[in-house]
């Protein structure tokens, strides 16, 4: 499950770029999940699978919820002050965060069982639903990132980046 995609690097001084970087990781991990069932069928559970599954679990258990907090607590409120018409999309995105976390809870349970030797496969339909949820979510969310680039001041972005960075130090 080799990853040959170029990695993008961003810093907290550019919080919107960090939000995009998180989406890049989501896409990469979703791609790994997409190929996991066939890989398991052909190769079984080996160390490469265990390593990848651990990374996926870590990302979606820790980083994805922090990313959603960044959006809900910092980015969305700042954006809606400048672009009030974004509120409808923001409301939809925030409700999707709940659904994404619920789908993740189901999928992560299977991934944990896989690591613990309690199962040999992962439900393809569950993986597909999880990936489709993120695909729809990212397609709605990234245009808001672009609006943020257009409307948020450098001061707002710097403050936001510091808060997001601090969130990870706790």
Planar angle of CA 164, 65, 10, nearest 5 degrees: 45
Contact 16, 161 (CB under 8 A): no
Burial of 133 (0-12, 13-18, 19+ CB in 10 A): middle
Question: Over the stretch 128-168, which tens digit does the pLDDT of each residue have?
Answer: 999 999 999 999 999 999 999 999 999 999 999 999 999 99
CA distance 156 to 161: 9
Residues 56 and 33: beta-carbon distance below 8 Å = yes
Res 9: pLDDT: 66
Instruction: Write out pLDDT tens, residues 64-81.
Output: 999 999 999 999 999 999
Tokens of 156: 């707002």
Rounded to whole angstroms, the Cα distance separating 73 from 67 reads 10
| pTM of structure | 0.91
């Amino acid at each position: 499950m080799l990853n040959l995609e170029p990695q993008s690097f961003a810093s907290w001084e550019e919080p919107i770029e960090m939000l995009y970087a998180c989406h890049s990781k989501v896409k990469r991990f979703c791609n790994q999940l997409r190929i996991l069932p066939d890989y398991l069928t052909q190769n079984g559970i080996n160390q490469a699978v265990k390593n990848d599954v651990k990374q996926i679990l870590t990302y979606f258990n820790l980083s994805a919820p922090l990313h959603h907090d960044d959006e809900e607590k910092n980015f969305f409120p700042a954006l809606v002050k400048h672009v009030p018409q974004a509120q409808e999309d923001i409301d939809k995105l925030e409700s999707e965060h709940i659904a994404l976390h619920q789908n993740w809870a189901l999928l992560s349970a299977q991934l944990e069982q896989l690591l613990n030797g309690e199962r040999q496969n992962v439900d393809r339909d569950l993986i597909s639903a999880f990936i489709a949820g993120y695909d729809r979510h990212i397609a709605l969310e990234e245009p808001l990132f672009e609006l943020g680039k257009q409307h948020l001041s450098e001061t707002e972005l710097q403050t936001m980046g510091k808060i997001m960075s601090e969130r990870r130090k706790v």
